[in-house]
């Protein structure tokens, strides 16, 4: 009888040992290290995203001793290529926070969001952002950091030029830019169509003219009459009259923002991060919804960056647990506030709207639900974005042909879409 009890005790002890080892004790053989490649949102080494992720990883690891998180942060210039190279070499990271997800989803390389996240976490994404993360109606891209666009204007320069209210239409923009030019403002309206972020400025003007990159069913409409009209107006009524100050094809968004912060730009389209940059230089500015051809634009542009989880490492459960932590209300709100971005979850958005500390973000945040996004769910989008960057700046120059350029890009898009089918 005693021998039977001893055998039972030994079996229980063995089972407990196996159970503890399987759960991971922090040093056991079943410990998992998640590899995350992320983009840098900081504007200096002191506030780079590496600090945010290191702190977040430490907090997660304290609560989950069997899971380590190794994060490498790269500049936006390098991060997408870094992930692309790792995937090609057969060493895909467990997680990547980059600019596009559709190509990886199309190749079956990603877990879907519902394979990773708890139901409350997935349901908390702002609906328009969750939809923008879908490939063939399945969400693979989890939004991470979002923004909308508004028109920024320098109140001091406006006052000196005798302008009493911000522009509400394209005619107002041209009229106010003429007054600013007469007062000697270096760049009355900054139009960054240089190679850095041309696809963003292009989309803003498409939307303000009633067009866009695609129609309601996702078909490219790059050479639509509305888009042609928008860029013909820019060429003839803004650039052609010397109201941009410099050649748009040579002006990058970063330089346009810096010019606004230095008091050399009267107005431009911008996102929330510009507020911090302008305030740091003492610029008294205002923001309004984007002006359209005949009044307020039909929609503003929304931008989201994407988190995705690769299947290769097989760490679905651990990656999902970490992502549930990443997308907690506290962590989303902290990241958004620190880097001048909009929250991607409803809970964090409501918290930001209820906090007067974020009052200047409220106008941007209220636009997010109805914003229109890049067609990032199309595998052809990276090529189209690259083509837009290469060609749209010259389209509004002295020898530019907006209709011809837009038609050329449309043909590229149609060919790319046909090849993808």
Q: Could you list the pLDDT tens digit for every one of the 421 residues in the chain?
A: 333 333 434 433 433 333 333 333 333 446 999 999 999 998 777 789 999 999 999 999 999 999 999 999 999 889 999 999 999 999 999 999 999 999 999 999 999 999 999 999 999 999 999 999 999 999 999 999 999 999 999 999 999 999 999 999 999 999 999 999 999 999 999 999 998 889 999 999 999 999 999 998 999 999 999 999 999 999 999 999 999 999 999 999 999 999 999 999 999 999 998 998 999 999 999 999 999 999 999 889 999 999 999 999 999 999 999 999 999 999 999 999 889 899 999 999 999 999 999 999 999 999 998 999 999 999 999 999 999 999 999 999 999 999 999 999 999 999 999 887 6
Measured from the Cβ of residue 291, the count of other Cβ atoms closer than 10 Å reads: 22
Unique residue bearing structure tokens 């350029």: 405
Do 94 and 167 belong together in one domain?
Answer: no
Do 253 and 320 belong together in one domain?
Answer: no
Unique residue bearing structure tokens 């590899």: 35
Considering the domain boundaries, does residue 19 fall inside one? no
Which pLDDT value is given to residue 1? 39
Tell me the HSE value of 315 on the side-chain side, using a 13 A CA sphere.
24
Do 322 and 357 belong together in one domain?
Answer: yes
Q: Is 49 exposed, middle or buried (0-12, 13-18, 19+ CB in 10 A)?
A: buried
Do 158 and 233 belong together in one domain?
Answer: yes
Six token digits for residue 259:
């010019």
Considering the domain boundaries, does residue 8 fall inside one? no
Go through 239-250 and write b for each residue having 16 or more CB atoms within 10 A of its CB, e for each that does not.
beeebbbbbbbe
Tell me the HSE value of 110 on the side-chain side, using a 13 A CA sphere.
26
Considering the domain boundaries, does residue 84 fall inside one? yes
Do 355 and 395 belong together in one domain?
Answer: no
Do 208 and 60 belong together in one domain?
Answer: no
Measured from the Cβ of residue 302, the count of other Cβ atoms closer than 10 Å reads: 26
- Identify which of 415, 396, 4 has the alpha carbon closest to the alpha carbon of residue 205: 396
Do 33 and 104 belong together in one domain?
Answer: yes
Considering the domain boundaries, does residue 347 fall inside one? yes
Do 393 and 292 belong together in one domain?
Answer: yes
Look up the domain containing 246 and give its range. 150-299+380-420
Q: The whole model's pTM is what?
A: 0.85
Do 262 and 154 belong together in one domain?
Answer: yes
Q: Is 44 exposed, middle or buried (0-12, 13-18, 19+ CB in 10 A)?
A: exposed
Q: Encode 142-164 in three state secondary structure.
A: EEEEEEECEEEEEHHHHHHCCCC
Do 55 and 90 belong together in one domain?
Answer: yes
- Domain-ending residue, one of 373, 392, 411: 373
Considering the domain boundaries, does residue 327 fall inside one? yes
Six token digits for residue 410:
């449309």
For residue 357, the domain's CATH number is 3.40.190.10
- Identify which of 299, 203, 209, 197 has the alpha carbon closest to the alpha carbon of residue 255: 197
Considering the domain boundaries, does residue 161 fall inside one? yes
The set of residues, in sequence order, having a beta carbon less than 8 Å from that of 116 and lying 6+ positions away, is 142, 309, 316, 319, 320, 323
- Structural domain total, the chain: 2
Which DSSP string corresponds to 84-131?
A: HHHHHTT---SEEEES--HHHHHTT-B--HHHHS-HHHHHTB-HHHHH
Do 219 and 330 belong together in one domain?
Answer: no
Between CA 140 and CA 117 the distance in angstroms is 11
Do 388 and 354 belong together in one domain?
Answer: no
Considering the domain boundaries, does residue 6 fall inside one? no
Between CA 315 and CA 321 the distance in angstroms is 10
Considering the domain boundaries, does residue 5 fall inside one? no
């Amino acid at each position: 009888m005693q021998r039977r009890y001893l055998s039972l005790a030994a079996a229980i002890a063995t089972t407990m040992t196996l159970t503890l080892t399987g759960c991971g004790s922090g040093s056991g053989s079943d410990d998992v290290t998640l590899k995350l490649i992320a983009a840098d949102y900081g504007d200096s080494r002191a506030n780079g995203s590496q600090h945010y992720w290191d702190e977040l990883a430490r907090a997660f690891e304290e609560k989950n001793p069997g899971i380590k998180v190794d994060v490498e942060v790269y500049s936006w210039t390098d991060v997408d290529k870094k992930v692309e190279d790792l995937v090609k070499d057969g060493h895909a990271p467990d997680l990547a926070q980059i600019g596009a997800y559709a190509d990886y989803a199309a190749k079956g390389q990603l877990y879907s969001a519902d394979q990773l996240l708890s139901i409350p976490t997935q349901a908390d994404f702002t609906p328009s952002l969750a939809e923008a993360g879908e490939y063939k109606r399945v969400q693979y891209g989890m939004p991470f950091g979002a923004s909308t666009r508004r028109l920024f204007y320098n109140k001091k320069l406006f006052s000196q030029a005798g302008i009493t209210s911000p522009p509400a239409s394209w005619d107002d923009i041209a009229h106010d830019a003429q007054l600013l030019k007469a007062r000697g403002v270096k760049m009355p309206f900054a139009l960054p169509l240089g190679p850095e972020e041309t696809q963003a400025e292009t989309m803003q003007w498409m939307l303000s003219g009633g067009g866009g990159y695609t129609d309601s069913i996702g078909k490219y409409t790059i050479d639509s009459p509305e888009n042609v009209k928008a860029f013909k107006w820019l060429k003839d009524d803004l650039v052609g009259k010397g109201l941009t100050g410099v050649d748009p094809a040579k002006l990058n968004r970063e330089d346009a923002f810096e010019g606004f912060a230095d008091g050399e730009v009267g107005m431009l389209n911008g996102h929330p991060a510009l507020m911090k940059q302008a305030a740091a230089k003492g610029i008294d500015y205002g923001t309004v919804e984007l002006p359209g051809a005949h009044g307020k634009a039909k929609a503003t542009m929304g931008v989201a960056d994407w988190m995705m989880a690769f299947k290769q490492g097989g760490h679905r459960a651990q990656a999902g647990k970490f992502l549930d932590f990443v997308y907690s209300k506290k962590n989303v709100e902290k990241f958004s506030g620190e880097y001048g971005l909009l929250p991607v979850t409803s809970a964090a958005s409501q918290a930001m709207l209820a906090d007067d500390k974020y009052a200047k973000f409220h106008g941007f945040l209220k636009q997010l639900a109805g914003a229109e996004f890049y067609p990032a769910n199309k595998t052809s989008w990276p090529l189209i974005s690259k083509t837009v960057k290469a060609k749209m700046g010259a389209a509004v120059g002295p020898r530019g042909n907006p209709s011809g350029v837009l038609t050329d890009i449309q043909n590229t898009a149609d060919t790319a879409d046909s090849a993808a089918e």
